[in-house]
Amino acid sequence: MITTSPTEFLEAYNALAPLPDAAATARAAFLVAPSEFTLAAESARDNRYMDMNVTIDPLKALAQHSVLAQALRADCPVITFPGNPATPDAVFPNNVFATAPGRFIVGRMRHAVRQREAERADIRDFFGEVLGYDEIDLSGCDDLVAELTGSMIIDRARGVGYCGLSERCDMAGAHAMHKAFGLRLTFCFELAESEYHTNVVLTLLASRALIIAADGFRDPAVPRAIATAYGDRAIWLTPAQKRAFIANAIALSDDRVWMSATAVAALTSEQHEALAGYGFAVGAVELSEIEKAGGSLRCCVGEIY
């Protein structure tokens, strides 16, 4: 079922039976290392978190990325694919590649500079030939835009998707992702005009708690409905905290949430206490150089289910 109504979403959500043996967190993760890292002007057209006037230190970005990969290995196996100088801003693979159990999904990116990332034969071969996943390739679909887990936040334990509509994902893309991920319920909604991806305004932590920025949604009833579904176990962000990328976080285990150092510094003591109450320690990694490209820690992480 796909719905755009907050009321209909809550009714459908409450009627869902639990999914037996569904994992709430990934069994492994993959990253793509920066190579000659720089900013893409094309991406900046609809990513308001980018500033094309800043300078980039490619070696610092590479070092920060390496520390990130090592840190995440505390929670699950992590594979890092080498970067490609032909796509120098390709450090956010979760928008291009994603998985569901037994499935490898390739997204349909909006911008040509990002569409080139989907052509990576080594990443496709790893999932297809090494892991034996079935490939679902949306990259050649000219009639839709679907930037995968940048646009679609997924409750893996329940098979529920939260899809923000913007320049980076349209309704046709939402339908394609609903099918590709094998979801039972997808709640589609419009993001605020200034937003490009859902994963900078919303994250789900191990399918039991939320981090959410209410001003990232066009209809205020949408974030309220999502929070209600999770018993109001939600960390609500101010606009400034949203811009510090607190919502661009990820849980790769049942007991820890990873954020950038910028995001952690913006948390209040009450929010730290709330996360602890939900059962999560907070891990921090310095990603200041990578954040200049308009994304943060969660954007760097592809999940393997």
- Is 37 a residue whose pLDDT tops 80? no
Band of residue 85 on the pLDDT scale cut at 50, 70, 90: confident
Q: Phi first, then psi: what are they for 54, rounded to 5°?
A: -85, 160
Residues 6+ away with beta carbon under 8 Å from 243? 49
Task: Return the biggest CA–CA distance within the chain.
Answer: 51
**Between vectors from CA 66 to CA 134 and to CA 38, what angle results, nearest 5°?**
85
The pLDDT assigned to 137 comes to: 98
- Is 138 a residue whose pLDDT tops 50? yes
The total of other beta-carbon atoms located within 10 Å of residue 252's CB is 23
Band of residue 42 on the pLDDT scale cut at 50, 70, 90: low
Taking residues 165-187, report their average pLDDT.
97
* Angstrom distance (rounded) from CA 86 to CA 274: 43
Buried b (16+ CB within 10 A) or exposed e, 259-282: bbbbbbebbeeebeebbeebbbeb
The pLDDT assigned to 44 comes to: 44
The pLDDT tens digits of the residues spanning 200-255 come to 999 999 999 999 999 999 999 999 999 999 999 999 999 999 999 999 999 999 99
Q: Which two tokens stand for residue 60?
A: 């610092």
* Angstrom distance (rounded) from CA 83 to CA 279: 35
Residue holding tokens 């996943």?
Answer: 133
Mean residue pLDDT across the chain: 94
The pLDDT assigned to 12 comes to: 98
Number of domains observed in the structure of the chain? 1
Query: What percentage of the chain reaches a pLDDT higher than 70?
Result: 94
CATH of the domain at 38: 3.75.10.10
The range of the structural domain enclosing residue 160 comes to 2-304
